[in-house]
Amino acid sequence: MTETPSDPSGAGSAPEGDAPDELAVFWEAARSRSKRNPVPTWTGPGVPGTLVPPAFAFGDDPVLADALLELVLAGVKTATSTALVELESSGEPMPVVGDLSIVLDGGGHPRALLRTTSVRLVRFADVDAEHAAAEGEDDRTLESWRREHERYWRRVLPRFGAEFSPDLELVLERFELRFPTAWDR
């Protein structure tokens, strides 16, 4: 469904404790295997190659996070949608083509590295069948996408002081899985 990078309830955000070390270890493996910086020169990897990308979990609970992550890892889910108000309320920037992000599983552990390939802003009512299919959920139809996402946003948006409507502005994002690759699994 949507990503919740800084949900006030704590769902979808990085866990406390060992998470930074776990993220750093994951990033080191992902960075080298995803051709982000496969062979650092004698001067080192440079600043972009050393900064750990932001991490998030899909959805708003661990079960949904795991289910959506599995769709990503299987190559079925190549898109996501986020209500613009979620980003604005949490101070998160709009995604940009080329952004990297780490996807966490329901337990808060890093499992995938994604690269954003396209971003567009549309109203809920204007989401098309192609995007719904790319999200890879349910039967991949626009009808099921609308039904399930309306249910999701009716549940989630009150946390951000917002309500669902067909005019809800959404950030539609397409992405590619950079790590793990088929060779890593």
Average pLDDT value for the chain: 85
Instruction: List the domains of the chain with CATH numbers.
Output: 19-184 (3.10.400.10)
Quick check: 169 pLDDT over 70?
Answer: yes
pLDDT for residue 182: 67
**CB-CB contact of 82 with 143 (8 Å):** no
Based on the number of CB atoms within 10 Å of its own CB, is 11 exposed (0-12), middle (13-18) or buried (19 or more)?
A: middle
Each residue's pLDDT tens digit, 2-47? 554 443 333 444 444 445 689 999 998 898 776 655 444 444 444 4
144-149 contacts, C-beta under 8 A, 24 or more apart: 148/1, 149/1, 149/2, 149/81, 149/124
User: Could you give the angle at the alpha carbon of 55 between the alpha carbons of 63 and 5, nearest 5°?
Assistant: 70
